[in-house]
């Protein structure tokens, strides 16, 4: 495949990663895919700024994992850096393999310097694109890469076989050290510094100073269909993405097929993946097309409002000098275009066919209602704080700002040592009613604790997540570990069960693992708690997670042997 990737990654290695889909051994039926990830530092230069970053195997972005549905994946992770590290396989269901899920102090203690851990899991009932990333502090700023899940051998896609498949990972580049950025923000209580650029496959592109050589180029042939496997790995920003003069057909989100639909622009939140088909023009035009991504942002805080761009180039024999060709630019929605965001997310529908059914829970055991949003913590007496009104920024779910424990929750649960670590008393409703999306209350202080929502095995759950406007209405992409869920409804204002429930889609709602709670609105999801373990749920805007917009579910074992969490692997890290 034709890629021109000018980056500091050893070019041969990177080209190998992208071009070689599967080795001979990997083409046979259900297999075990074995990877070795060495966490080490590398010097990388972007925007004329050289920086030491934490990487996997010296690569930025990290290597891709390729597996077929049904395969076992074993990733041995060796930590050669000073930082504690864990990796998360974002969106992988981890059926009865919670020990391999990865969020630090939730399912495991971190892999400390000089130690290793083998993540061991299977991929079941999923096909499309997922991704892996660090799940401790802000290390995922540079530790991330694609997970490509192919259908079982001999099983076709529910769309025409694409000519080529191309992973496209959006990220954020910071000239500063991201660990220093979040530590400073947590100390001062103010909003963190923002990134210097967005990137496509690690490359900021020509719209930034000192960056045109670091441009992602997609070289295509006319009259072909390309499958773009798009991942938003940015830390703090939802993104709009568009390619000039080309239509994108969305066919799969979060490794679940959807009913195909066309749009010029897609919206993708951190944590989400979107597979789109790109049909190139029948006759190679004499033009070059810009592709661009920039934020969809609704909060009041400062954010990186810059634009990353790459190039779509047609390979024409007659195009002797590509530089002389006209360049067309895409038109992206305005940064706060919630109307576009709503229209786009409303188009997402499960296939809901015999082969790919939408098993939406039709009767519900637990109706839950969680508020999500920002608030504040008091400023320590001897300090001046830079958060709202001289306080510190905080964030919460049902007014509980989650306190990270110092030992892993899953071990505490499994070994019956929860006392003093967590309490299974997460509130099922907000404790106090107020107009969640109206005039903010005077008291913006949040409560805190390490509270879990306990569920019996196989409980069918309906959860409504309600944004609050306490410190400004804002969209929050909520990610649930260990499960997919169905997005059965969404709306603006305060959720009203007597009115809104009647409009739920229980037939073909989209199934995914990360969903945006609309700014000043709500989203309703359903899932069946059929995977025992402790499962993190959090906003995938990393700054909100740092402020406490996170909680965990405790799904108990079922009666049958295959409904129980197996014991931990011998090499599980200790705290």
Beta strand spans in 86-214 (E): 87-90, 116-122, 128-134, 144-150, 164-173, 197-200
Strand partners, 42: 53
User: β-strands 144-150, 65-68: how paired?
Assistant: parallel
> Toward Cu ion, which CB reaches closer, 109 or 397?
397
Please choose which of Cu ion, ligand NAG, none residue 412 contacts, taking the beta carbon within 5 to 8 angstroms, the exact cut-off set by kind: none
The encoded tokens of residue 9 equal 């990654």
The encoded tokens of residue 126 equal 């999923």
Instruction: Give the C-alpha separation, 150 to 128, whole Å.
Output: 6
User: β-strands 217-220, 308-314: how paired?
Assistant: parallel
Please choose which of ligand NAG, Cu ion, none residue 118 contacts, taking the beta carbon within 5 to 8 angstroms, the exact cut-off set by kind: ligand NAG
Please choose which of Cu ion, ligand NAG, none residue 110 contacts, taking the beta carbon within 5 to 8 angstroms, the exact cut-off set by kind: ligand NAG
Q: Which residue is nearest to ligand NAG (CB)?
A: 438
Q: Does 515 bind Cu ion (CB under 5 A)?
A: no
The CA-based dihedral angle spanning residues 237, 243, 249, 255, taken in that order and rounded to the nearest 10 degrees: -40
Q: Which of 544, 546, 555, 556 binds Cu ion (CB under 5 A)?
A: 544
Complete DSSP assignment for 220-248: E-TT-EEEEEEEE--SS-EEEEEETT--E
Q: Which of 410, 541, 556, 572 binds Cu ion (CB under 5 A)?
A: 541
Q: How far is CA 107 from CA 18, 174, 272, 574, in A?
A: 31, 29, 21, 11
Neighbouring residues of 444: CB distance < 8 A, sequence distance ≥ 6:
375, 376, 388, 391, 470, 471
Please choose which of Cu ion, ligand NAG, none residue 184 contacts, taking the beta carbon within 5 to 8 angstroms, the exact cut-off set by kind: ligand NAG
Question: Candidates 24-32, 170-178, 362-370, 468-476 — which segment interacts with Cu ion by CB under 5 A?
Answer: 468-476
Q: How many CB atoms lie within 10 A of CB 276?
A: 24
Give the nearest distance from C-beta 131 to ligand NAG in angstroms. Answer: 22
Q: Does 90 bind Cu ion (CB under 5 A)?
A: no
Instruction: Give the C-alpha separation, 535 to 215, whole Å.
Output: 38
Please choose which of Cu ion, ligand NAG, none residue 181 contacts, taking the beta carbon within 5 to 8 angstroms, the exact cut-off set by kind: ligand NAG
| Backbone phi, psi, residue 563, to 5° | -115, 15
Q: Does 476 bind Cu ion (CB under 5 A)?
A: yes
Q: Which of 234, 539, 554, 565 binds Cu ion (CB under 5 A)?
A: 539
Positions in the binding site for ligand NAG (CB under 6 A): 41-43, 52, 74, 84, 109-110, 112, 118, 120, 176, 180-181, 184, 193, 208-209, 245, 285, 287, 305, 328, 334, 336, 380, 382-383, 388-389, 435, 437-439, 442, 444, 494, 575
Complete DSSP assignment for 458-513: T-EEEEEEEE--TT----EEEEETT--EEEEEEEESS--HHHHGGG---SSB-EES
Question: Candidates 177-185, 326-334, 536-544, 559-567 — which segment interacts with Cu ion by CB under 5 A?
Answer: 536-544
Give the nearest distance from C-beta 511 to ligand NAG in angstroms. Answer: 26
Please choose which of Cu ion, ligand NAG, none residue 125 contacts, taking the beta carbon within 5 to 8 angstroms, the exact cut-off set by kind: none
The size of the interface with Cu ion (CB under 5 A), counted in residues, is 4
> Toward ligand NAG, which CB reaches closer, 23 or 382?
382
Give the nearest distance from C-beta 437 to Cu ion in angstroms. Answer: 15
């Amino acid at each position: 495949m034709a890629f021109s990737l000018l980056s500091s990654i050893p070019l041969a290695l990177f080209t190998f990663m992208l071009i070689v889909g599967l080795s001979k051994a990997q083409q046979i039926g259900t297999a075990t895919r074995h990877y070795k990830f060495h966490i080490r530092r590398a010097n990388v230069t972007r925007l004329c700024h050289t920086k030491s970053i934490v990487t996997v195997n010296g690569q930025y972005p990290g290597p891709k994992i390729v597996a077929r549905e049904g395969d076992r994946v074993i990733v041995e992770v060796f930590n050669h850096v000073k930082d504690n590290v864990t990796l998360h396989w974002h969106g992988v269901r981890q059926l009865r393999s919670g020990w391999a899920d990865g969020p630090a102090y939730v399912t495991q203690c971190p892999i400390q310097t000089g130690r290793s851990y083998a993540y061991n899991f299977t991929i079941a009932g999923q096909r499309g694109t997922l991704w892996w990333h660090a799940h401790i502090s802000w290390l995922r700023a540079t530790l991330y890469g694609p997970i490509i899940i192919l259908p079982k051998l001999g099983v076709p896609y529910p769309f025409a076989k694409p000519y080529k498949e191309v992973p496209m990972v959006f990220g954020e580049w910071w000239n500063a050290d991201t660990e220093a950025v979040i530590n400073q923000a947590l100390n001062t209580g103010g909003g963190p510094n923002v990134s210097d650029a967005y990137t496509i496959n690690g490359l900021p592109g020509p719209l930034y100073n000192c960056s045109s050589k670091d441009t992602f180029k997609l070289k295509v042939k006319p009259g072909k269909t390309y499958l773009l496997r798009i991942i938003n790995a940015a830390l703090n920003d939802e993104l709009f993405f568009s390619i000039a003069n080309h239509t994108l057909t969305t066919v799969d989100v979060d490794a679940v097929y959807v009913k195909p639909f066309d749009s010029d622009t897609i919206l993708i939140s951190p944590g989400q993946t979107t597979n789109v088909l790109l049909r190139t023009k029948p006759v190679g035009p004499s033009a070059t097309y810009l592709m661009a991504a920039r934020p969809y942002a609704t909060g009041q805080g400062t954010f990186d409002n810059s634009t990353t761009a790459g190039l779509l180039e047609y390979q024409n024999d007659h195009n002797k000098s590509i530089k002389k060709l006209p360049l067309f630019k895409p038109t992206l929605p305005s940064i706060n275009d919630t109307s576009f965001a709503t229209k786009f997310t409303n188009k997402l529908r499960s296939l809901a066919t015999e082969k790919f059914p939408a098993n939406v829970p039709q009767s519900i055991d637990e109706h839950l209602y969680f508020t999500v949003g920002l608030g504040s913590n008091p400023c320590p007496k001897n300090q001046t704080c830079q958060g709202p009104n001289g306080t510190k920024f905080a964030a919460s779910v049902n007014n509980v700002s989650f306190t990270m424990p110092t030992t892993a929750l899953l071990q505490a649960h499994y070994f019956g040592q929860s006392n003093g670590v967590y309490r299974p008393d997460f509130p099922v409703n907000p404790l106090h009613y107020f107009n969640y999306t109206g005039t903010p209350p005077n008291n913006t202080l949040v409560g805190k604790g390490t509270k879990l929502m306990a569920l019996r095995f196989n409980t069918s759950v309906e959860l409504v997540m309600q944004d609050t406007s306490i410190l400004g209405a804002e969209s929050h992409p909520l990610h649930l570990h260990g499960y997919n869920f169905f997005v059965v409804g969404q709306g603006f204002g305060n959720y009203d069960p007597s009115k809104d429930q009647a409009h739920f889609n229980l037939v073909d709602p989209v199934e995914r693992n990360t969903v945006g709670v609309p700014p000043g609105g709500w989203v309703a999801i359903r899932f069946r708690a059929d995977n025992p373990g402790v499962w993190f749920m959090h906003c995938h805007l990393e700054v909100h997670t740092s402020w406490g917009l996170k909680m965990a579910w405790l799904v108990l074992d079922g009666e049958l042997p295959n409904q129980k969490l197996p014991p931990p692997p011998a090499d599980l890290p200790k705290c």
